Structure 1
Amino acid sequence: MAAADLAYWPADTSHPVLELTTGDLLRLAAADAGDQTALIEVAPPDTPSLAGADRTDRQWTYGQLLADAQQCAHWLLTRFSPGERITVWAPNIPEWTILQYGAALAGLILVTANPALRTAELRYVLAQSRSAGLFHTAAFRGSDMTAIAREASAGLPDLRATVCFGDWPDTVRSHQETDALPTVRPGDAAQIQYTSGTTGFPKGALLHHRGLVTNARFMIDRTQLPRRGAVVSAMPLFHTAGCAMGVLGSAHQRASYVLCQLFDPTLVLTAAARHHADMLAGVPTMLIALLSHPDFDRFDLSRLSRVLSGGSPVPPELVRRVEERFGVRFTAVYGQTELSPVISQTSPDDAPNDKATTAGRPLPQLEVAIRDPVSGRLMPTGRVGEICARGYQTMSGYFGMPQRTAETIDADGWLRTGDLGVLDERGYLTVTGRLKDMIIRGGENIYASEIEQVLFTHPGVRDVTVLGLPDPTWGEIVAAVVVPTDADHVPTVAELRDLCREKLAPHKTPARWLTADELPLTGSGKVQKFRLRQQIDRAELPELLRDRDL
């Protein structure tokens, strides 16, 4: 077979890899756009500050953000040494971003933790990363985070300091700068990001400055965000979508990052209108909720020109709805934490069908190949296989897990994503599902995303996921879990089955149909199918009615 017929896309080397650290990026932004608004705080109305401030609508210019980050870095160095790890366990507050930049300037490694973690989960992160410090808010969404932090950190030998963000004004902000900051290099470790937990086993991806900063540059260029524009996002900062794509991507364009403390459709739409957003970012479930807002048409979104999504496959019908209702050009990213994170991305200029059905083309300086999951051989163009990638942005490894690192990155530097996909002759990548989520029914390979895309076209389906369940006859059967648009008018099995049979081969039609109020998601918006399987095993999800008359 000729090389041209194999599913391999070479790296586009026309754009250079940036030899910059996260701190370098902020210094450059402050040098040429010091008076430009860098960060805008958005919190729910009538809620107290989670960082001890006297208001929750604060703003920073790039000059002010650098000054606060440098002050933070000097304070950090009175307690920690370069190369040590500190964990941040908090929702989206401006101090999170200041700590991100401060840690980078101080040469510390920032360990990011989902604020929804409970005691045992947080303790795992602190212990596995051997963190020397923990930064947290006192409370969030009814959770006593101070009590959880105290219990989770008890007896950990590496942990020396625990800081509540509520004390920030009296500690970090009151500190005076002293010695010079250390030299930090682009290849140095910047963050440890724990994998989302779709399988329930978190691994800490060790990411370096070069990968995070350069990937954010390439992503924001592909997005075509206007220089000094405004980005509104509720994407969590503990994930690369927030702290890298959002914060660093905005810094590259000297844009204003409008940081929503949490995702609430009214809060996000109000922020987008008030701050004249040029771009809005959100996972598919967020976009669905925004489009479903009863007063959507009352918000002035006339400045909005881009909507960016990712985190999980974006159904084609949702792409069309977003472009039509928002009046924007859509761009979707596909990536993985281990790759800092974006692998491929559609362009706003792509043909409608490419934006609706593919994950775009690889970003610059990254090779992509589709390989046989068993033999490792390159697959022919247009055939399904495991997506593998190699380039500057690959993680240094899983922290403290050399065996898991070796299983993921081979001797030639190729990283196995665990995702299934197809690469066409133009370099456009289509993600068909997770290798672990591929359903094998009677020897036939079935890809859940194909079925999900069909079901998503039904107006009564707000969200849906498809998974395999054990079966003594077939090995596995196909099951669908549907979140209805209207709880009082839930689609029936007959309606959905007919839709599938019209569009798909008979063996792909789900054999079991269940319903849920919401799908369990990771912090990055991926469906936790292992939790759904647990709920199904415990008979916690009701079956859909088979017919409207029943």
Structure 2
Amino acid sequence: MTSPGSILEMEEKVLHGRRVRVWKHLPPTFRQFLLHTLHTYSDRQFLSSPLPAPRRRHPSSQGGSSSAQTDDSRENVTFGQVLEKSLRLAAWMRKRGLGVGSKVMIGGRNCTGFIVAFVATHLIGGVTVFLNAWLPREQLIWSIRMTNPSLVLLDEERAEILGPYQYVRETDLPDMFCWSGSSYLPTLLDVFDTPVDVNPILRGDGLEDLGPEGDAVIFFSSGTSGFPKAVLSTQRMALSNLWSGMVAPARAALRAGLPIPPLPKPTDPQRTLLLAIPLFHVTGCLSWLMRAFFAGSRVIMMRRWNTEEAIRLIVKENVRVIGGVPAVVSSILQSPSLPKDQTFDTVFYGGAPPSSHMPKEVKSKWPKGGLVQGYGLTETNAYVCSIAGPDYLDRVMLRGPPVPICDLKIVDPTTRQRLPTGQVGLLLVNGPQVMKCYLGDEVATARAIDEDGWLDTGDIGCVDEEGFLYIKDRLKDVIIRGGENITSSEVENALYALPYIAEASAVPLPHDRLGEVVGAVITLRPSQNHTRQIEERKIISDIKARGTLARYAVPEMVMIHEGPLPKNVNGKILKKDLKLIIQKQWEKRKLERSEFRSGASRSGEIAVRAKL
């Protein structure tokens, strides 16, 4: 697969003082890659994006229907039109003095303007800073100030939120512009519509210092608690994901006795994919958007995730590729609105742990579709491991072998000594795709990456004799019951095995004697929501009857949650929110039991005295 002359050929280099394996044929910069693909597929349809939603005087309630989900007003642009807009914006940036290394922050929903801003920044050798658009105003301002960009480009919603603060001296914000119409910030519409000389941009004038080891992207970590960290990576670090994404299909083909799939060609049939996760997330940008550039795919975008709107677009636009995070796939799988004859070419997910039952459920529903799972982090620019084909179906808890440029190590979380094969411990990762640093936080960087370049992932898992990785849990999510370590994933998979469970999250509950016991919050599948047969006692009884969990791992309390479990914008379940909800009920239940026992005790005393 990585033999000399192959597209996945590797070579050794010394980068940042460390010897690593790198992809030999990887494009050196985003600029070179983007110019090539935009020219190659110039006449193809590229983006289908919802137009800005009209502002409402009386917004609908959260539970009602929203025109933001059903409005069919969309713009469709070709690869060539994206290039034309991007070149004009890049020329405008250069006139403002921006160039190699200049940080440009991009904030907004998935739309054409976002992608044009991304391309334009890289055409001048800049660094794209991806603002988490769904953060509250205070955290948006904090994110801007801590990364200190030269320029901020926003959609109309973020312009309305941040526009009034541009001229407040205390906020110390840089120049901000809106890529669509706005009454809160200067707009870039005239920039897009006005022809200019873009030949200096095409020639790369002034970009002599641009190279693979230069800074390229800043993503904010997608943690589910606290303020996010700004993850800075170089051109090579971020672009490595493009080549790493070819590993799983290549390996699956070889295992099946087939040749490795060739690089995409302009003559290949165009496929349409549904972009269901934010572009400001590493998976949305580096795995989905960059793959669409690479293959010349058509991209269907949504304002925000909504299952009914997603299915409407899937049917209308003939979407052939779906995925993102497991929650997206699960929502489509379980929706009664999906036509029974709907098929897909590929289902790909990563970014959050899937249930052990998802792979076989996907293949049962769409047997001819390819199934790919990836494991990685923001700090590794997505791919660390990937798996596709029969290997994944045979071992559903598998995350795959590491991509060839990457090394794994399982260590004791306390001593950091390497553990034997098969033993569960803390996962460390090393390779050329590991981030450069947490911007502006040397202490956090030193805690995350040791002197030899090993990144602490915060995940616990093990590696088998074949070098395949199994992820058990986040280290911080392990439940310790009387000295017994219980991974939340083993409890969640036992719950997912019950046919009426839609979503599940295992969390610790405080216990006076044992320290912690297992609790769980679940949602029911749509067909079960209106029955009264499913209750806590039945769920716990069914888990015990299956015998897949040790007695001490069976939940002491199961809360049935109305509606989807709370998630961050990247589809990860917010366990900290669920802990607060279920622990409050747990304490209430303990109090009620205590009062009941106290009342029963007093009744016994009265009875004894009466007899005396």
Q: Same fold, TM exceeding 0.5?
A: yes
Q: Say if 1:370 and 1:421, in contact at 8 Å, map to a contact too.
A: yes
Q: Which residue of structure 1 lines up, in the alignment, with residue 541 of structure 2?
A: 498
Could you tell me how far apart the structure 2 residues matched to 1:163 and 1:413 are?
A: 38
Q: Please state if 1:63 is matched with 2:88.
A: no
Displacement of 1:25 in angstroms is: 1.1
Could you tell me how far apart the structure 1 residues matched to 2:25 and 2:437 are?
A: 20
Q: Please state if 1:201 is matched with 2:247.
A: no
Q: Classify the secondary structure of the residue corresponding to 2:440.
A: coil
Q: Say if 1:222 and 1:347, in contact at 8 Å, map to a contact too.
A: yes
Q: Say if 1:86 and 1:108, in contact at 8 Å, map to a contact too.
A: yes
Indicate which of 479, 489, 513 corresponds to 2:558: 513
- What whole-Å deviation, never above 9, does each CA across 1:100-152 have from its counterpart, x for those lacking one? 1111112222221222211111111011111232222223xxxx751344348
- Within 5 A, what are the aligned runs for 1:351-430? 351-354=392-395, 356-430=396-470
Q: Classify the secondary structure of the residue corresponding to 1:395.
A: coil
With 192-201 and 304-313 compared, the bigger mean Cα shift is at 192-201
Q: Please state if 1:344 is matched with 2:358.
A: no
Q: Which residue of structure 2 lines up, in the alignment, with residue 313 of structure 1?
A: 353
Could you tell me how far apart the structure 2 residues matched to 1:494 and 1:37 are?
A: 54
- What whole-Å deviation, never above 9, does each CA across 1:517-538 have from its counterpart, x for those lacking one? 3222122111221222233455
Q: Which residue of structure 2 lines up, in the alignment, with residue 249 of structure 1?
A: 291
Counterparts in 2 of 1:538 and 1:133: CA distance versus 1, 3 Å: farther
Counterparts in 2 of 1:423 and 1:153: CA distance versus 1, 3 Å: farther
Instruction: Give 5+ residue unaligned stretches, structure 2.
Output: 1-11, 13-19, 57-66, 181-186, 251-260, 590-612
Q: Classify the secondary structure of the residue corresponding to 2:274.
A: strand
- Within 5 A, what are the aligned runs for 1:51-450? 56-79=73-96, 81-82=98-99, 83-139=101-157, 146-151=160-165, 154-155=168-169, 159-166=173-180, 167-174=187-194, 176-177=196-197, 179-180=200-201, 181=204, 182-183=206-207, 184-220=210-246, 222-223=248-249, 227=268, 228-297=270-339, 301-302=342-343, 304-327=344-367, 328-354=369-395, 356-450=396-490
Q: Please state if 1:487 is matched with 2:529.
A: yes
Displacement of 1:47 in angstroms is: 9.5
Q: Say if 2:346 and 2:371, in contact at 8 Å, map to a contact too.
A: yes
Q: Which residue of structure 2 lines up, in the alignment, with residue 546 of structure 1?
A: none
With 325-334 and 171-180 compared, the bigger mean Cα shift is at 171-180
If asked which structure has higher relative contact order (CA below 8 Å, sep 6+), I would say 1
Q: Say if 1:120 and 1:152, in contact at 8 Å, map to a contact too.
A: no
Q: Which residue of structure 1 lines up, in the alignment, with residue 42 of structure 2?
A: 34
Displacement of 1:394 in angstroms is: 0.9
Counterparts in 2 of 1:270 and 1:540: CA distance versus 1, 3 Å: farther
Could you tell me how far apart the structure 1 residues matched to 2:97 and 2:164 are?
A: 20
Displacement of 1:14 in angstroms is: 9.2
Q: Say if 2:350 and 2:374, in contact at 8 Å, map to a contact too.
A: yes
Could you tell me how far apart the structure 2 residues matched to 1:136 and 1:331 are?
A: 33
Could you tell me how far apart the structure 1 residues matched to 2:305 and 2:167 are?
A: 28
Could you tell me how far apart the structure 1 residues matched to 2:504 and 2:497 are?
A: 10
Aligned length: 523
Could you tell me how far apart the structure 1 residues matched to 2:301 and 2:503 are?
A: 26
TM-score calculated relative to the size of structure 1: 0.87
Indicate which of 25, 28, 31 corresponds to 1:23: 31
Could you tell me how far apart the structure 2 residues matched to 1:157 and 1:46 are?
A: 29
Amino acid at match of 1:500: I
Q: Say if 2:31 and 2:125, in contact at 8 Å, map to a contact too.
A: no
Could you tell me how far apart the structure 2 residues matched to 1:250 and 1:69 are?
A: 17
Q: Say if 1:358 and 1:431, in contact at 8 Å, map to a contact too.
A: yes
Displacement of 1:366 in angstroms is: 0.8
Q: Say if 2:88 and 2:191, in contact at 8 Å, map to a contact too.
A: no
Counterparts in 2 of 1:137 and 1:31: CA distance versus 1, 3 Å: closer
Could you tell me how far apart the structure 1 residues matched to 2:128 and 2:376 are?
A: 21
Q: Say if 2:42 and 2:80, in contact at 8 Å, map to a contact too.
A: yes
Could you tell me how far apart the structure 2 residues matched to 1:86 and 1:159 are?
A: 13
Q: Say if 2:423 and 2:462, in contact at 8 Å, map to a contact too.
A: yes
Q: Say if 1:43 and 1:260, in contact at 8 Å, map to a contact too.
A: no
Could you tell me how far apart the structure 2 residues matched to 1:311 and 1:415 are?
A: 17
- What whole-Å deviation, never above 9, does each CA across 1:138-185 have from its counterpart, x for those lacking one? 23xxxx751344348843676331112223322344362464444232
Q: Say if 1:500 and 1:509, in contact at 8 Å, map to a contact too.
A: yes
Displacement of 1:17 in angstroms is: 5.8
Displacement of 1:19 in angstroms is: 4.2
Could you tell me how far apart the structure 2 residues matched to 1:198 and 1:13 are?
A: 32
Could you tell me how far apart the structure 2 residues matched to 1:484 and 1:492 are?
A: 10
Q: Classify the secondary structure of the residue corresponding to 1:342.
A: strand
Could you tell me how far apart the structure 1 residues matched to 2:376 and 2:393 are?
A: 21
Could you tell me how far apart the structure 2 residues matched to 1:493 and 1:309 are?
A: 31
Displacement of 1:223 in angstroms is: 4.6
Could you tell me how far apart the structure 2 residues matched to 1:25 and 1:540 are?
A: 54
Q: Classify the secondary structure of the residue corresponding to 1:171.
A: helix
Q: Classify the secondary structure of the residue corresponding to 2:236.
A: helix
Answer with 1 or 2: which has the greater Rg. 2
Counterparts in 2 of 1:342 and 1:89: CA distance versus 1, 3 Å: same
Amino acid at match of 1:72: L
Could you tell me how far apart the structure 2 residues matched to 1:30 and 1:395 are?
A: 27
Q: Say if 1:466 and 1:478, in contact at 8 Å, map to a contact too.
A: yes
Amino acid at match of 1:207: S
Counterparts in 2 of 1:500 and 1:79: CA distance versus 1, 3 Å: farther
Amino acid at match of 1:252: F
Q: Say if 1:217 and 1:249, in contact at 8 Å, map to a contact too.
A: no
Instruction: Give 5+ residue unaligned stretches, structure 1.
Output: 1-10, 544-550
Could you tell me how far apart the structure 2 residues matched to 1:117 and 1:208 are?
A: 25
Indicate which of 528, 535, 538 corresponds to 2:581: 535
- What whole-Å deviation, never above 9, does each CA across 1:76-95 have from its counterpart, x for those lacking one? 22335232322222111111
- What whole-Å deviation, never above 9, does each CA across 1:189-216 have from its counterpart, x for those lacking one? 2221111131323111002221222212
With 369-378 and 38-47 compared, the bigger mean Cα shift is at 38-47
Displacement of 1:417 in angstroms is: 0.4
Could you tell me how far apart the structure 1 residues matched to 2:585 and 2:149 are?
A: 40
Counterparts in 2 of 1:459 and 1:401: CA distance versus 1, 3 Å: same
Could you tell me how far apart the structure 1 residues matched to 2:178 and 2:576 are?
A: 33
Q: Say if 1:42 and 1:271, in contact at 8 Å, map to a contact too.
A: no
- State the identity %: 25
Q: Say if 2:425 and 2:460, in contact at 8 Å, map to a contact too.
A: yes
Could you tell me how far apart the structure 2 residues matched to 1:57 and 1:467 are?
A: 42
- What whole-Å deviation, never above 9, does each CA across 1:32-66 have from its counterpart, x for those lacking one? 33323333325699999x9xxxx943333333322
Displacement of 1:351 in angstroms is: 4.8
Amino acid at match of 2:570: S
Counterparts in 2 of 1:472 and 1:175: CA distance versus 1, 3 Å: farther
Q: Say if 1:197 and 1:528, in contact at 8 Å, map to a contact too.
A: no
Could you tell me how far apart the structure 2 residues matched to 1:375 and 1:119 are?
A: 41
Amino acid at match of 1:100: F
